[in-house]
Amino acid sequence: MTLALRKPLLLSLCLVSWLMVTGCQSTHQAEVAPSADTKRELLREVERLGHLLYQAHTSGAHKLEFSDQQREVFAELRPLYCAGNYTELGVTDDTNGSTYWYAIKFSDDADTVVFGRHLKLIQKANGEYDSSLSSRGCLDVPLTQTGSLFASHSASDYPNEFHVFLSLFHQQKIYVDTSSGLYRVEAGTIQQIG
């Protein structure tokens, strides 16, 4: 696929992402809550992606090199980046054959957890990309000895792979409040607690 065919898609993705970031609401119908089995399956998938992301970042396992095409896609999404340093990683999931491309924001301070904004691209079979944001805003939280990490997550109904990655990377419990309940993410495992 040529860049000319991809640009309108990316510009529309940027517009949709910008609308999400600025707080505009979608007009689509609410989805039916998934069954308990489907929810468990979804959370295990998120955990697996978080582990793959952590492995790619720390050891290079599953890490892919970016092509010029992926670099162009991320360049077009740069207006969505928060101020700071980003690491771009590509990972492949051998379980389902999918390839995921990430831009993860890191702090220069090791005692700071960056909840957002991270970006994710999924390359579809036709060569086009779907993008998603880890959060609707930029959020850096200092680690303290006296408190727990807590995030209110309105970008999706469940914690995402970035929460799993952060729990592994910082070796911290992270409590994530979503529209479907309260979750604890610890050592790369997600558990609903409320």
Tell me if 61 sits within 8 A of 54, measured CB to CB.
no
Lowest mean pLDDT among 20-29, 77-86, 87-96, 166-175: 20-29
pTM of full prediction above 0.75: yes
Tell me if 15 sits within 8 A of 128, measured CB to CB.
no
Tell me if 123 sits within 8 A of 7, measured CB to CB.
no
Place of tokens 């995921």: 100
How many whole angstroms separate alpha carbon 178 and alpha carbon 171? Answer: 22
pLDDT at 147: 76
Q: What is the edge-to-edge ordering of all strands in the sheet holding 181-186?
A: 149-152, 174-178, 181-186, 189-192
Using DSSP, state whether 81 is helix, strand or coil: coil
Taken in order 128, 115, 63, 92, the sign of the CA dihedral is negative
68-77 and 3-21 helices, crossing angle to 10°: 30
| For residues 134-162, average pLDDT | 84
Lowest mean pLDDT among 42-56, 133-147, 149-163: 133-147
Number of neighbouring beta carbons within 10 Å of residue 163: 26
Cα–Cα distance list, 155 to 20, 56, 94 (Å): 8, 24, 27
Structure tokens at 186: 């610890």
How many whole angstroms separate alpha carbon 129 and alpha carbon 114? Answer: 25
How many whole angstroms separate alpha carbon 101 and alpha carbon 131? Answer: 9
Query: Which sequence spans correspond to the domains of the chain?
Result: 9-17+36-192
Whether pLDDT at 125 is above 80: no
Tell me if 102 sits within 8 A of 120, measured CB to CB.
yes
**Residue of higher predicted confidence among 102 and 93:** 102
Whether pLDDT at 15 is above 60: no
Tell me if 176 sits within 8 A of 157, measured CB to CB.
no
Percent share of the chain, pLDDT over 70:
81
